[in-house]
Structure 1
Amino acid sequence: MLPPKTANALRNMVSAETRDTVSRLFMTDGRRHWKGYTLSFLFMGIMAGTTSGLAYLMGTVINRIFVEQNSSAIWILSGAVVLLSLVKGFSAYGQAVTLARVGNRIVADNQKKVLDRLLSQDVAFFTRSHTAEIMMRFNTGAQAARNVLNLIITSLGRDLLSVIGLTAVMIIQDPFMAGIGLVVMPIAVVGVRSLIRKVQKIFSREFHTAIQIMTESIEAFQGIRTIKSFTMEDDQRTRIYERIDRLEKASNRMIRAQSQSGPLMEALGGVAIGLVVMYAGWGVLHGGRTPGEFFSVITALLLSYEPAKRLARLNIDLTTHLLGARMLFDLLDRPPVEVDAPGTPALRVEGGKIEFDDVFFGYRADEPVLRGLSFIAEPGRTTALVGPSGGGKSTVMSLLERFYEIESGTIAIDGQKITEVTRRSLRQAIGFVSQDVFLFSGSVRDNIAAGRPSATEEEIVAAAKAAHAHDFITGFKDGYNSRVGEHGAELSGGQRQRIAIARAFLKDAPILLLDEATAALDSESEAEVQKALYELQRNRTTLVIAHRLQTVINADRICVVEKGRVVESGRHDELITKRGRYFTFHQLQFAGQQERLSA
């Protein structure tokens, strides 16, 4: 029984936040894997029992063999030591494997839950959060849950049971000597109390610095072309080096804080052993006690030293994992955003008529992007959105796919409000090709098949041919199995665009969104891509964003978007005749082209 002051100190060491986190871990992952933890705990109990048995047996070994010089005891006691050691070894193997399997399952389960929760967030969440922070939560949080549970289970099952069993041996052999040994634990517990807050602060700073290093490193690697083009290597190196040096200093402070409990335990352990030796030695020489009792207590005391030291610093070790576990729960507690209400119907696309009616929207409060935007994209026709940058053209496409929710107004497809149908059916009805093509780091085939994962090889090849991509794909050494590199870095801009168009062909959606799909291409590549786009637009409701008016002259309807509104609309010739905003853009653009041609 611990003294009241020591018990209070133990309770104060464990903050409410820590208790809540640990309790939640046991009520979720711990409860789900209770069978595995029970089996592991059983193995650790056997280990503690055999360890205590070996310590107790040392007294008998000394007395029967070395004091009484009993020959037959040699074989019996040696066999008992071997048997206990074998049982301990097998138990150690069993608990290690069982605990590892349970821990790996917890990591896998939590990573799946984190992934599910991340995929249920909207695009706005990912624009606010850096990839590095998300990945730290994804990996560190899942592993922290396992580490906290494993640390507590091993502390209770292996260390605490070992200390209890070895203490029992000391009490049986000599209660007074046991009392001397037990002085160490309460003093050690109180001694490490002051270290906990210090470790928590250092680890928090260390963790956030690690996120900054990962953030800047990822940006440096992804922006390597820009860095080299602007000769920014030295600046990047200096900034990241400073972060790394800061993390190194924080890590060193963490090690110093965590290691301060070691000398305390070493000193207290040495004092306890010295006192036991003094008392036991006097008792053997002058008090009629047997050497076996002395050696048994010393063995138990020495064997209990390491588990007692681990128990004393348990809260310090937990601190480094609890922050990661809390980050995991912070993410898992985020309510899913993209969840459709039960019974929400799927979108039924008959013609593909798109209607924006008095739509207001802004990415930030009091900064509107769309200010009552209204237009109609007729089914099976091509509608182009043109106008100055920042007018809200790309926002229209993001809202149509419900990446963001409008503030007021309505968006409808074939008379169905997109807010009243499932997001999945809405997005399945839309194909999208932009100038900023994203390709996954797999093969050409994988990236085309992303449009419809169940597609056959013949359908994938047909889509590539329709996108005018088959010829250059078969020119690669590995053909459709060729790797595209990270973000398609091993392909040219025109090749990436045509693979994206092939993906849209394979999806075969009735509605097509084209966001500056040829803006970044040279004339030759643009001609090839434009051929593919004309094929793709056939018999589809197509919404096109273009800054180069030449690419939308043949559109069925052109809407001029300016300051979040459609200021005029019509066919190319009609708008030229009106001599309004479209005419002004046209004159400016084609006048510039004429000047370049003259030069």
Structure 2
Amino acid sequence: MLAKLLPGIEEKLLYRLLSENYQAQAKWYALAILSMFFVAGTTAASAWIMKDIVQSLSPDEPAYKVYGVAMAVAAIFAVKGIAGYLQAVFLSIAGNRIIASQQIKMFDRLIQQGVSYFGSKSSSDTLVSLTQASQAARAVLDTVLLSFVRDLFTLIGLGFVMFTQQPVLSAVSIVTIPVALFGIKNLLKKVRDIVTREMVSLSAIIKVATETSMGIRVIKAFALEDHMAARMNQAVTRVEKMSNSIARLQAATMPMMDVLSGLAIAAILAMSATTIFGGRVVTSQGQLLSFLTALIMAYDPARRLASMRIGIETGLVGVKMMYDLLDHPITMLESENAKPLPEGPRQVAFRNVSFNYEGGNGETVLKSLDLEFAAGKSTALVGPSGSGKSTILNLTMRLYDPTDGQVEIDGMDIRDVTFASLRENMAFVGQDTFLFAGSVKHNIGLGRADATDDEIIAAAKAANAHDFISKLPEGYESDVGENGGNLSGGQRQRLSIARAILRDAPILLLDEATSALDAESEAEIQKALHDLSQGRTTILIAHRLSSVMRADQIIVVKDGEILEQGTPAELLKNENFFKRSYDLQYDM
């Protein structure tokens, strides 16, 4: 039905939205539709009763008829008011449930995506999809329901009153309908294009706001306030212009309908004094008043129906964004036959592994690597920036899958391991420390869900963090701020290390874990990490070679290939990359 009444709209998209959400909220929409029937019926009844009002006011009518008409009027408007209230409440319950459920679905889909997805998508676009798109879905559903139930049945009821009271004048008034539909059709393409550009501009606003929040220190240090303000002004101005354009197009239906309605009423009034086939078109004042009331009351639902397509086209832009996110293929899938890691020593091995990032410059990051990270031993990855060290850790955590070859733990391809089991066996500390909103205790406790307060404090002490935590205004309950903004870089790093210590996983991955610490703190943390790594399979990356001298094995990586490997003592015996780097650092 919608495809026939609304040609040109993306019917599949609309049908999917309706079928998924109307069915899910069937109870509330059924109650809303029932209320709409009462609204439509009482609206038509309020026009119909105008004839009785005029007749009851005749001097010849007895008083009890006047009282009866008065009670009927009161009853009609009371029922209409209650039905309108219930309609609004039921629609709001269903609409808010739709927004919440769609946002949950989108976030669930988002969190299932692999890291590569987030590298290819702008965070501002994602935020727009999570917020604006779900609102657009509700708006489309409400528009369809209100137009095809309340407004359509109201018009049918009022049309019945009009044709019953004055069939000739009703036929004349229908002439305006094709003219209105033709005018609306020409507005649709412009609306769709403008709304698409508006969404892009909204994304730009979020992007500037996010960059300002995350990079405020750089903005202040380089006096970029005016630059950022200009970018925000530009983005906001674009949205303002788009919004004004949409408002003008949506409002364009109003003067068009006003003119057409005015012409129709004027023509009807003129015809009311006309005689056809020897008889007057209008037979009584009561009938004429009832007809005119119905005609005037039909204006609003007719206008809403006429502009319905514009509202739907506007909302479908956001709906498409929502389904683009929901339908995007999962970039990192768990195998259908995935199994937990069996008990084992937790040796990590790379078997002929090659890798290049999707969407990169096409250059291979790792080239046919064969590596073994001995179980219960620590292995340090050393090499120039961009050599592939962090990529090795990413593949070990299965944030990405190898382009060729396989990564194994105890001989088992990690692509055949459940995500939960893989994550449970690993703890990670990166150079880009990330803290979540909440308290210090909350952030450390994320390392293990069942950790006690004493275990959290013990982990903090092992990470040399307990002293500074104790000096915070609320101790372990102190709020860390957005991404740890209330703490220094070194303090954030210590909490990250405490979180890894609490994890107590058999595989420990460290990517420049002490990069944000001063020399004294680094020495203390290095001792804590050394103690933590005992008996664990540890893979660490460090540019400061003092951090790797306690490692059982050092692997030098350059341009995605193994340049050299051995114990620290073995590598220092020969003139090689590691020895030259060591001498450069210690001669400074």
TM range (shorter): over 0.9
Mark the CA change 1:12 to 1:304 in structure 2 (over 3 Å): closer, same or farther. closer
The equivalent residue for 1:356 is 350
Q: Which whole-Å CA distance do the structure 1 matches of 2:377 and 2:59 have between them?
A: 105
The equivalent residue for 1:3 is none
Indicate yes or no: 2:207 matched with 1:215. Answer: yes
Indicate yes or no: 2:328 matched with 1:329. Answer: no
Indicate yes or no: 2:291 matched with 1:297. Answer: yes
Q: 2:477 aligns with which of 475, 478, 481?
A: 481
The worse-fitting range, judged by mean Cα deviation, of 460-469 and 40-49 is: 460-469
The equivalent residue for 1:268 is 260
The equivalent residue for 1:596 is none
- Structure 1: which 5+ runs fail to align? 1-6, 594-599
Q: Which whole-Å CA distance do the structure 2 matches of 1:467 and 1:98 have between them?
A: 54
Compute the displacement of 1:383 (Å). 0.5
The equivalent residue for 2:531 is 535
The one-letter code matched in structure 2 to 1:516 is E
Q: Which whole-Å CA distance do the structure 2 matches of 1:200 and 1:300 have between them?
A: 34
1:51-200 superposed matches below 5 A: 51-66=43-58, 68-200=60-192
Q: 2:8 aligns with which of 3, 15, 19?
A: 15
1:320-399 superposed matches below 5 A: 320-363=314-357, 364=360, 366-399=362-395
Mark the CA change 1:318 to 1:288 in structure 2 (over 3 Å): closer, same or farther. closer
Q: Which whole-Å CA distance do the structure 2 matches of 1:402 and 1:311 have between them?
A: 53
Mark the CA change 1:165 to 1:529 in structure 2 (over 3 Å): closer, same or farther. same
The equivalent residue for 1:206 is 198
Q: Which whole-Å CA distance do the structure 2 matches of 1:468 and 1:372 have between them?
A: 40
TM-score by length of 1: 0.94
Q: Which whole-Å CA distance do the structure 1 matches of 2:583 and 2:466 have between them?
A: 38
Local SS of the residue matching 1:245: helix
Local SS of the residue matching 2:334: coil
The worse-fitting range, judged by mean Cα deviation, of 514-523 and 51-60 is: 514-523
Q: Which whole-Å CA distance do the structure 1 matches of 2:56 and 2:414 have between them?
A: 88
Mark the CA change 1:349 to 1:202 in structure 2 (over 3 Å): closer, same or farther. same
Aligned-residue Cα RMSD (Å) equals 2.0
Q: 1:37 aligns with which of 29, 45, 52?
A: 29
Q: Which whole-Å CA distance do the structure 2 matches of 1:339 and 1:422 have between them?
A: 10
Runs of 4+ in 1 over 6 A off after TM superposition: 283-288
The equivalent residue for 1:524 is 520
Residues 54-85 of structure 1 show CA distances to partners (whole Å, capped at 9, x for unaligned) of 11001111012236443222211110011111
Do the aligned partners of 2:272 and 2:282 also contact (CA within 8 Å) in 1?
no
The worse-fitting range, judged by mean Cα deviation, of 543-552 and 183-192 is: 183-192
Compute the displacement of 1:453 (Å). 2.0
Compute the displacement of 1:485 (Å). 0.5
1:222-301 superposed matches below 5 A: 222-280=214-272, 289-301=283-295
Compute the displacement of 1:288 (Å). 7.0
The worse-fitting range, judged by mean Cα deviation, of 509-518 and 216-225 is: 216-225
Q: Which whole-Å CA distance do the structure 1 matches of 2:5 and 2:98 have between them?
A: 29
Local SS of the residue matching 1:380: coil
The equivalent residue for 2:578 is 582
Q: Which whole-Å CA distance do the structure 2 matches of 1:67 and 1:193 have between them?
A: 51
The equivalent residue for 1:431 is 427
The equivalent residue for 2:558 is 562
- Equivalent pairs, count: 584
Q: Which whole-Å CA distance do the structure 2 matches of 1:482 and 1:288 have between them?
A: 80
Q: Identity over the aligned pairs, expressed in percent? A: 41
Local SS of the residue matching 1:313: helix
Residues 489-546 of structure 1 show CA distances to partners (whole Å, capped at 9, x for unaligned) of 1011221111111111221110000100112222233234323322322221111101
Mark the CA change 1:421 to 1:118 in structure 2 (over 3 Å): closer, same or farther. same
Compute the displacement of 1:233 (Å). 1.3
The one-letter code matched in structure 2 to 1:573 is A
Compute the displacement of 1:209 (Å). 1.4
Do the aligned partners of 2:338 and 2:415 also contact (CA within 8 Å) in 1?
no
Local SS of the residue matching 2:554: strand
Residues 308-364 of structure 1 show CA distances to partners (whole Å, capped at 9, x for unaligned) of 000000001111110111111111112223332333111125212111222111113
Local SS of the residue matching 2:543: coil
1:306-317 superposed matches below 5 A: 306-317=300-311
Q: Which whole-Å CA distance do the structure 1 matches of 2:373 and 2:125 have between them?
A: 40
Q: Which whole-Å CA distance do the structure 2 matches of 1:260 and 1:156 have between them?
A: 21
Do the aligned partners of 1:369 and 1:391 also contact (CA within 8 Å) in 2?
yes
The one-letter code matched in structure 1 to 2:325 is L
Compute the displacement of 1:13 (Å). 5.4
Mark the CA change 1:143 to 1:349 in structure 2 (over 3 Å): closer, same or farther. farther
Q: Which whole-Å CA distance do the structure 2 matches of 1:219 and 1:337 have between them?
A: 26
Residues 427-478 of structure 1 show CA distances to partners (whole Å, capped at 9, x for unaligned) of 2211001121100011111111111123222222222222222222122121
Mark the CA change 1:497 to 1:369 in structure 2 (over 3 Å): closer, same or farther. same
The worse-fitting range, judged by mean Cα deviation, of 412-421 and 30-39 is: 30-39
Q: Which whole-Å CA distance do the structure 1 matches of 2:384 and 2:294 have between them?
A: 82
Local SS of the residue matching 1:454: coil
TM-score by length of 2: 0.96
Compute the displacement of 1:134 (Å). 0.6
- Structure 2: which 5+ runs fail to align? none
Compute the displacement of 1:287 (Å). 6.3
